[in-house]
Structure 1
């Protein structure tokens, strides 16, 4: 098994918890990867399918996250982050959490119209809406479809609170919308920083923007008053944990108001993909990395339990928390909690009240 240029997962393999047939690397799939004349690998092309959704606001009751409403305009993510906990969602489509997740994408082009309709329903209760909680709202195809921007336009018109999580500097293309919202206490952005080492970042997140671009995005957002939380996640033992202090310092220097972190999570379908990735890129320490991950996950590859899944447990997890807390206190940073206003909301169709 070897790396595929520009992709995170080394293969399309992966078990499914949804009892769907295991996806094999069959002849048709190999034909798309190989040049028959020279038997040389060709780039795996990204395909995008438009889907017609009936609703766009997803609601959850998880006690581990700071929101209960979210919008996911895209399924799959071309950034190709090997550790992405959203990969299993592709199994529901009878697609692989591996290469399919990062190359066979889906878009909801009517997301903004659906959002306007749902916000206008009688009895709608205003609570912050989160974008980027499953797949990145600013992945490359946003440049063409602009669904994220269209949704932000609706939220801005309605003066609705919004939280964005991304690892892309493309978020700065919407500063014209985000800056006025920030002035009214209506928006916050969490920007993911995984490594300052471009070579490591390229292995972990092959199609995500360069670390310098992410730091520049934090600076640009901060300069126009948008509160930014630097999400130093995931922390992967023996891979990027040596950078904790440097990542926090870089985020502070760029203007982040707060920082947060989550130890790596490896849900059922992600764990075998991550192991394959380790064997390809870090065969010298693959066993050590998995041993340390299991030490913070109760002896398993993953801990799905509320309360502990976002924090980890055991001595190594405690050490990561202590280092992170010391770095945060050294720079007098907040813990990432930002309260957004809910009292300015104006339902769609009632914007004349603004004038």
Structure 2
């Protein structure tokens, strides 16, 4: 990476710092190099664990990325999605919307936490929420996406219930208004939403999440007319009627193992897998952004970094509603 990248990153860091000052008392506790005195090597420790997992399986990338999204969207970025259910409580991870979260995401965070706590001066100093945030940045970078400075200082939440998930995660059939509304409640703009949607440039989907678009879209159109015809035929071949529900396919049909702006090229070509994706191109309010980012990877990367930073500020825990967990999977 050349000098221009670092200049851009430095300017972006300054811009994000200004936003942080305006974003309220909870997220104001976040800052880069938060652990400089308590655990100065924490980012390298986490990165080593994430890199080892990535070398074992590419699934680590979408698994960690989805874990971060599902955590932050529900009750803020507090690692509550990692908590295991107990006889007295059904936790977030066991809500139907979270059952498809891949185990590699949880395993990455748990192993990174163990590696951090194995360093005496770091033990019980770094939250699971921050470890998930760092791991998310690292998997994006390992998959070819942008690297960026992460704000740290989150604490772990003390509550995790399946009921809290209801209505708090976007669904594959959402239209633009529904997507914008859900993001606006978390302080995120339409531009942020379009940028974050590119997380689907990596990862997999089960056939039942989009089967209505290729078999029974409407009475007049069994196949969604916004779908590229060749792509629709390809999807029918991979996901026949009454397919095994465990079958999953790549969400990005062109570069499924690379985090890049090909996601937007796919939308321009009618190859968005979900209604909630293709609408970003079919709705005139978002179409121009999709067109721009389909041909300008630098502009997309900058927007994605900004959106991820803003998402990472959602629901930061303060006061008595937090601590640092000894074990990411259970409360202290």
TM-score of the two chains, using structure 2 as the length reference: 0.31
Give the structure with the higher percent helix. 2
TM value normalised by structure 1: 0.29
Richer in strand (by share): 1
